[in-house]
């Protein structure tokens, strides 16, 4: 009954131009942005909200194991300080909340502000530009609230339930839940408006053409920062709780530490450093919202109101060396199809913002994991030589190649201006099967061309030529085998096919990637670390490599081509 | 009556349109012709109030449109050059939104939308997302959006783009009917035959300057030739046959 009443009330509101604009902007932020007239990755508002809510819910459920009183008793943990052991988990939820919300803001970066499409459709109507701005602002506020509640809703209920499982009292559950909700919701709002403020400041400061040029790089940096933030969840809580005296300098650069400190302060368990950090929360949230609104008002005035005077599109600077190295090009790309299509693929990767962004996200994750591995390698090592042979150090090129190859393979599936793919449909010769060699060459040039030489040089310096050659060869072979596996029955030109539907086995693929990562970038370096002490043992990897080489070939020949191409 | 008085627009001191003046009276259909970069789009943007002129003004019924743009736009029906619509909205949703933003009453709006969708052969596709529409279908949606509130002024910027033969014929007759109904119509196009057929007057622009402004019949008689030949003579001193020959030669080059 109340739902019907609300619907009817909204029905009346949406007859008013202002609320109709708000509805339009909410829908546009969720479902479309940028200048393309074709539909993008439209997986529906409901599914987006479900996907955003999932991580918090899943992680909460997985924590039952840690907080269950019976399991604690079985582990011999009789006097557990629940709030103390909850600190790292609470920090993780705060970081997760900030990362997911920040990623949403980065993902919808192009749709946050009214764009040329809105201008074309709305500017000639009897609606003032101020009304359009305010409607967009209201839509953003609604969206920020919705995302904050959605991302944190499950964890706000489940995490306090899990934590209070051992305590079993309702007041503890309510108190813990309220404090947790304040922390994660504020963190979410802060992350959303921080990205919004960055966007607004860029628009307010830069001329439109420069903004378009810089925008992609800034988005990439924000993604890398958010991934870094996620990776701090292993180190920050313990460092913060151990801190005596004033808050360390680094903690000021990670807003997540301010919010976890606020939670600790509200529970009366904050040390002086946490008190200092918690005091930053309110001014920071108010400040970032104020900056976001102020800068967006200036940016709106400079960009949207003046769209009619701004030329569409931007010039692309020509690289005088790009594709001029004729000999090298002919060597790597022997047919004209490969040469033509690789230019298209290369330029799409370099210029398409969504492709760059996806790749930056994966690359950023690789960089963070590689940095962590490097730090771990030097912990406890007495020399460079010793550190270089630890599994952590050996895993670095494996981490980078795995994530970049997987990242590129995923990026190949993202279409670019699907209406333009008729050119390739006319050119593609189904009998010659040149798409797989093309993808292989692109991946090799983009990843192996720099990872393997750097690995070799670094290990020649640290361990000598033999170890360097063995390690580099293993990285190279593993990367080739991974490519073989990922390019089974690859029959399409990158970026030219519709997005694959959200298949039921997507979860299985995701789990396979995680499992593959463990074998590729964790187990292999561990074995290699022990084998390099006696290099002959490296040959025991040959059968493994042969199996890994044969299986994709077998699958390639003996599976039915369901694509029909 | 719509008047353009010495309209001038400069982009970074480079003039796009210079001293453009004309008067458009009820019942007149003024065609605007010119090659790419001649200032047609800038003129349209100034007439719709999207761009403020660097000098000069646009008057509607004797009042400067910039004084009250929102009020002026209630009288305006505009079809932009690009059908840059929201791909996730259906045709019906888009028109419903435009009607709401124009402050139309709901029953009137719904009846008009349905009737116009029917007349433009879009009723079966009204609940499909516009991302799936062809260029012609999008163009028809824009035409309906411009017509549905019965405006006094129509500004059409390349309205035939993508329309099929039947729709184009309907539209040409529609423009003439609008003129006869006492509406003001400003019609920008590259298609000379259409301008020749549907417009009462024509304005030819070259590098932002008016080089001819008269009735279609008079402009055509300047050289005693068709409008097409007159246009080519006035605007582009290009031997089109020679250029076509050169293109074929380049195409065949080994």
pTM value is 0.74
Per DSSP, the residues of B142-178 read: HHHHHHTT--SEEEEESTTTT--HHHHHHHHHHHHHH
B88-107 residues touching A, CB cutoff 8 A = 88-89, 97-98, 100-103, 106
Kind plus residue range of the DSSP H or E element containing B9: strand B2-11
Q: Which chain B residues touch A124 with a CB distance below 8 Å?
A: 48-50, 73, 76, 78, 80
Q: How far from A41 is each of A87, A354, A418, B194, CA to CA, in Å?
A: 37, 11, 12, 40
For residue A16, which residues of chain B lie inside 8 Å, CB to CB?
100
- pLDDT the model gives residue A76: 67
Ramachandran region of residue B238, left (φ > 0), alpha (ψ -120 to 50) or beta? beta
The phi, psi pair for A228, rounded to 5°, reads: -60, -40
Q: How far apart are CA A488 and CA A273, in angstroms?
A: 54
Touching A: B residues 181-210, CB under 8 Å: none
- Residue with more model confidence, A220 or B21: B21
pLDDT value at A48 more than 80: no
Dihedral of alpha carbons A161, A154, A199, B50, sign:
negative
* Spans of all domains in chain A: 44-309, 328-558
pLDDT score at A312: 53
Beta carbons of B84 and A31 less than 8 Å apart: no
* Residue A396 in tokens: 């670095």
pLDDT greater than 80 at residue A45: no
**Residue A116 is encoded by which pair of tokens?**
């040329």
Q: Would you state the structure tokens that stand for residue B86, as one six-digit string?
A: 């929201």
Q: Which of A16, A27, A120 sits opposite B80 (nearest CB)?
A: A120
State the pLDDT at residue A230: 80
Q: What is the pLDDT of residues A355-365, one digit of tens each?
A: 877 887 788 78
Whether A184 shows a pLDDT value over 90: the answer reads yes
Best residue of A16, A23, A37 to probe chain B, by most B CBs closer than 10 Å: A37
Q: A127: distance to nearest CA of chain B, Å?
A: 6
Report the residue count for chain A.
Answer: 565
Residues of B in contact with A127 (CB under 8 A): 70, 101
Report yes or no: A126 at the B interface, CB cutoff 8 Å. Answer: yes
pLDDT at A324 over 90: no
pLDDT at A495: 84
Q: Which two tokens stand for residue A345?
A: 């693929």
* A14 close contact with B: CB closer than 8 A: yes
What is the spatial distance between Cα B136 and Cα B238, in angstroms, rounded to a whole number? 31
Q: How far apart are CA A98 and CA A223, in angstroms?
A: 12
DSSP assignment of A57-110 equals HHHHHHTHHHH-HHHHHHTT--S--HHHHHHHHHHHHHHHHHHHHHHHHHHTHH
Q: Where do the domains of chain B lie?
A: 2-218
Given CB atoms, is B85 within the 8 Å cutoff of chain A?
yes
What is the percentage of chain A residues whose pLDDT exceeds 70? 87
Pairing of strands B153-157, B76-79: parallel
Q: Which of A326-340, A548-562, B123-137, B222-236 has the highest average model confidence (pLDDT)?
A: B123-137
Lowest-confidence range among A370-374, B33-37, B117-121?
A370-374
Q: Which of A325-329, B143-147, B162-166 has the lowest mean pLDDT?
A: A325-329
**Contact, A529 vs A389, CB < 8 A?**
yes
> Is B80–A14 a contact, with Cβ atoms under 8 angstroms apart?
no
Question: Residue A565 — pLDDT band, cuts 50, 70, 90?
Answer: very low
Give dist(CA A184, CA A95) in Å, integer: 8
Smallest CA–CA separation between A239 and chain B, in Å?
A: 48
The mean per-residue pLDDT over the stretch B80-97 comes to 89
In A123-252, which ranges are continuous DSSP H helix?
A: 129-163, 170-205, 208-231, 236-242
Q: Is B37 left (phi over 0), alpha (psi -120 to 50) or beta?
A: left
Give the pLDDT of residue A562.
Answer: 47
A117–chain B Cβ distance below 8 A for any pair: yes
Distance of CA A167 to the CA centre of its chain: 36
- A313, burial (CB in 10 Å: exposed 0-12, middle 13-18, buried 19+): exposed
Residue A77 main-chain phi, psi, to 5 deg: -95, 100
Cα–Cα distance, A532 to A391 (Å, whole number): 11
The residue length of chain B stands at 254
What three-state secondary structure class fits A125? Answer: coil
pLDDT of amino acid A44? 61
What's the whole-number mean pLDDT along residues A486-509? Answer: 76
Residues A35, A314: Cα–Cα separation, whole Å: 13
The least confident of A483-487, B153-157, B232-236 is: B232-236
B84 in contact with A at a CB cutoff of 8 Å? yes
User: How many Å apart are CA A389 and CA A385, to the nearest integer?
Assistant: 7
Read off φ and ψ for residue A233, nearest 5 degrees: -65, -20
**Residue from B37, B69, B101, B149 to probe the interface with A (highest A Cβ count within 10 Å):** B101
Q: Is B150 within 8 Å of chain A by CB?
A: no
Evaluated on CA atoms B143, B148, B149, B151, the torsion sign reads: positive
* DSSP letter, residue B129: B
Task: Please say whether the structural domain B2-218 has been given the CATH code 3.40.605.10.
Answer: no
- The overall average pLDDT reported for chain B is 88
Provide the pLDDT confidence category of residue A430 given band limits of 50, 70 and 90: low
């Amino acid at each position: 009954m109340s739902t019907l009443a609300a619907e009817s009330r909204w029905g009346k509101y949406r007859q008013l131009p202002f609320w109709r604009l708000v509805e339009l902007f909410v829908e546009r932020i969720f479902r479309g942005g940028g200048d393309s007239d074709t539909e993008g990755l439209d997986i529906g508002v409901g599914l987006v909200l479900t996907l955003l809510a999932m991580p918090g819910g899943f992680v909460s459920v997985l924590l039952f194991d840690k907080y269950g009183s019976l399991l604690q008793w079985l582990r011999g943990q009789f006097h557990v300080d629940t709030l103390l052991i909850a600190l790292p988990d609470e920090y993780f939820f705060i970081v997760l909340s900030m990362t997911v919300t920040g990623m949403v803001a980065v993902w919808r970066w192009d749709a946050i502000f009214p764009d040329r499409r809105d201008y074309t459709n709305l500017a000639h109507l009897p609606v003032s530009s101020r009304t359009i701005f305010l409607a967009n602002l209201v839509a953003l506020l609604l969206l920020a609230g919705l995302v904050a509640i959605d991302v944190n809703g499950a964890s706000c209920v489940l995490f306090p339930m899990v934590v209070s499982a051992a305590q079993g009292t309702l007041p503890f559950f309510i108190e813990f839940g309220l404090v947790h909700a304040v922390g994660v919701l504020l963190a979410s709002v802060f992350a959303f408006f921080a990205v919004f403020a960055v966007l607004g400041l860029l628009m307010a400061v830069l001329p439109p053409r420069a903004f378009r040029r810089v925008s992609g790089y800034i988005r990439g940096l924000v993604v890398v920062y958010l991934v870094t933030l996620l990776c701090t969840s292993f180190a920050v809580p313990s460092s913060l709780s151990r801190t005596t005296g004033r808050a360390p300098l680094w903690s000021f650069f990670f807003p997540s530490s301010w919010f976890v400190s606020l939670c600790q302060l509200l529970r009366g368990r904050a040390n002086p450093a946490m008190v200092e950090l918690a005091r930053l929360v309110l001014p920071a949230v108010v400040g970032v919202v104020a900056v976001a609104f102020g800068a967006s008002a200036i940016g709106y005035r400079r960009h949207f109101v003046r769209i009619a005077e701004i030329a569409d599109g931007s010039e692309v600077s020509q690289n005088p060396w790009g594709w001029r190295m004729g000999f090298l090009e002919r060597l790597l790309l022997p047919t004209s199809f490969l040469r033509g299509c690789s230019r298209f693929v290369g330029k799409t990767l370099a210029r398409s913002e969504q492709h760059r962004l996806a790749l930056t996200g994966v690359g950023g994750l690789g960089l963070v994991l590689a940095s962590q591995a490097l730090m771990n390698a030097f912990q406890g090592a007495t020399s460079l030589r010793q550190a270089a042979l630890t599994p952590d150090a050996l895993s670095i090129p494996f981490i980078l190649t795995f994530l970049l190859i997987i990242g590129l393979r995923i990026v190949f599936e993202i279409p670019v201006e699907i209406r333009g793919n008729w050119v390739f449909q006319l050119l593609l010769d189904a009998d010659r099967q040149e798409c797989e060699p093309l993808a292989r060459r692109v991946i090799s040039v983009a990843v192996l061309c720099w990872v393997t030489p750097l690995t070799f040089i670094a290990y020649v310096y640290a361990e000598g030529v033999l170890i360097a050659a063995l390690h580099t060869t293993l990285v190279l072979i593993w990367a080739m085998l991974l490519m073989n596996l990922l390019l089974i029955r690859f029959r399409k030109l990158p970026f030219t096919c519709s997005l694959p539907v959200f298949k039921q086995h997507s979860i299985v693929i995701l789990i396979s990637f995680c499992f593959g990562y463990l074998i590729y970038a964790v187990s292999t370096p561990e074995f290699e670390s022990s084998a390099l002490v006696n290099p002959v043992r490296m040959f025991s990897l040959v059968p493994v490599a042969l199996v890994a080489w044969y299986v994709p070939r077998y699958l390639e020949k003996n599976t039915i081509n369901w694509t029909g191409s | 009556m719509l008047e353009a008085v010495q309209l001038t627009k400069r982009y970074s001191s480079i003039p796009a349109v210079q001293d453009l003046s004309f008067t458009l009276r009820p019942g007149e259909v003024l065609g605007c012709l010119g090659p790419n970069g001649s200032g047609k789009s800038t003129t349209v943007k100034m007439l719709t109030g999207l761009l403020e002129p660097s000098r000069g003004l646009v008057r509607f019924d004797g009042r400067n449109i910039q004084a009250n743009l929102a009020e002026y736009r209630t009288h305006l029906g505009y079809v932009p050059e690009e059908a840059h619509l929201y791909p996730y909205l259906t045709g019906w949703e888009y028109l419903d939104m435009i009607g709401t933003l124009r402050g139309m009453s709901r029953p009137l709006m719904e009846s008009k939308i349905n009737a116009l969708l029917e007349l433009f052969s879009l009723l079966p596709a009204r609940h499909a997302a516009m991302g799936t529409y062809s260029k012609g279908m999008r163009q028809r949606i824009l035409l309906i959006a411009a017509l549905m509130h019965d405006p006094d002024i129509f500004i059409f910027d390349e309205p035939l783009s993508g329309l099929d033969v039947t729709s184009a014929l309907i539209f040409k007759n529609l423009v003439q009917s609008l003129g006869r109904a006492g509406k003001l119509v400003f019609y920008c196009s590259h298609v000379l035959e259409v301008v020749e057929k549907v417009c009462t007057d024509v304005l030819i622009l070259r590098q932002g300057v008016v080089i001819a402004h008269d009735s279609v019949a008079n402009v055509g008689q300047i050289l005693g030739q068709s409008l097409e030949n007159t246009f080519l003579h006035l605007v582009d001193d290009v031997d089109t046959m020679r250029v076509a020959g050169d293109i074929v030669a380049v195409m065949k080059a080994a």
